[in-house]
Amino acid sequence: MMVEINLLPQKERKSFYSIIILLAIIIVLLVTSLIYFMYTNNIKNEIARTEQTIETTEQLRMVQEQQLADAQQSSMVDVLEAQIDWIEQQQISGVSLLSHFVRKLPEKAYFMNYTYVDQGTVQIFVQFESPIDVSSYLHELTDSRFVQSADLLNINAQEIIDEEGLSEDLLPRYLANFEVKLNVNEIKVEEGNG
């Protein structure tokens, strides 16, 4: 009998299971990497779309604001043009109006000031010699066809002091303030004829 001695180490047989496990791990890593890559790529695309939407929305907002500003500006221009046209139609000659008021003044009465309060209303400041002159002028104003109504707002007596500082023999002057509502249509008819 012969005895065989094998001094070479015996090769271990590789297990088929270890190769399958190794391949399964590699496949899982590849699939996980692929899913991760696809997920990050999808997130990047979503971010890009969102940024594009934001940019488009911002541009639309700017266009809408510009259109609104233009519309408001053109609306304001239209309103102002309409007001200018109305004012030009309502405009009356201050010279003819003032000369009419002066013609109605009694003797020794003087115009001090007159002011347009608003369209169709004038305030007049006149100096008179006596209170009777004030009432006479108010009557003349109310009878005028250029005047719708005339009101005496106030009357103040002013003492007159002579050069020596004495006021014994001098009569006071009366400063009256009238508010006159004008008959604009009648004034325009008169201006058209004159």
Mean pLDDT of successive 10-residue segments in the chain (194 residues)?
Answer: 76 77 95 96 95 94 89 81 74 79 89 83 91 91 91 87 61 90 82 65
Q: Does residue 150 lie in a domain region?
A: yes
- β-strands 110-118, 121-128 pairing: antiparallel
Same domain, 73 and 105: no
Choosing from 90, 115, 143, the residue where a domain stops is: 90
Give CA–CA dist 49/41, Å, rounded. Answer: 12
Considering the domain architecture, whether residues 99 and 183 belong to the same structural domain is answered as yes
**Is the Cβ–Cβ distance between 190 and 146 less than 8 Å?**
yes
What CATH number has the domain bearing residue 122?
A: 3.30.1360.100
Residue 122 in tokens: 């004038």
Judgement on whether residues 56 and 106 belong to the same structural domain of the protein: no
Q: Has residue 10 been placed in a domain?
A: no
Secondary structure of 13-25 as H, E, C letters: CCCHHHHHHHHHH
141 domain-assigned: yes
- Domain containing 184 equals 94-162+170-192
Final residue before a domain boundary, out of 35, 65, 90: 90
> What pLDDT is attached to residue 181?
93
Which one of 90, 123, 139 terminates a domain?
Answer: 90
Question: How many structural domains comprise the chain?
Answer: 2
Residue 36 shares a structural domain with residue 106: no
Q: DSSP 3-state assignment of 36? A: helix
Whole-number pLDDT of residue 169: 59
Specify the pLDDT at position 28: 97
DSSP label at residue 10: P
Both 23 and 77 in a single domain? yes
Long-range (24+ apart) CB contacts under 8 A made by 153-157 are: 153/123, 153/177, 153/178, 153/179, 155/131
Residue-level pLDDT at 33: 96
Give the tens place of pLDDT for each residue, 32-42: 999 999 999 99
Same domain, 57 and 100: no
